[in-house]
Amino acid sequence: MDNDPGRSDMATRLLRNVMFVESFDTVEKSLFREWKLCKNRDERERIWVATDVLAKIKTAIRAVAYEGSLPKKNMEEIKGKKSLRSKIW
């Protein structure tokens, strides 16, 4: 799966997709706005973690687009974050 030559093209198309870019930008701005206005420390931390996860998703897609596959180390890190993701959403 990692060596599929079509993966890089799919990732590149995804990063250029207007709806994808717009959706990520909207969520990112919304999270940042919530973070700035939030007074509760735990809630601010939850929002910050969500922002970090969003950035890691974009980084993973960019890695596939530019390298053709997701480096194994990054893939293992992402797999290890599944429990964190369930706490966020």
Distance CA 28, CA 16 (A): 17
Burial of 75 (0-12, 13-18, 19+ CB in 10 A): middle
Distances (CA, A) of 52 to 2, 13, 68, 73: 24, 23, 23, 18
Query: What pTM was computed for the model?
Result: 0.67
Per-residue pLDDT reduced to its tens digit, 40-49 = 999 999 999 9
> Domain map of the chain by residue range?
5-88
The 10s digit of each residue's pLDDT in 45-80 is 999 999 999 999 999 999 888 876 555 556 566 666
CA nearest neighbour of 34 among 23, 25, 47, 46? 47
The answer to whether the CB of 44 falls within 8 A of the CB of 30 is no
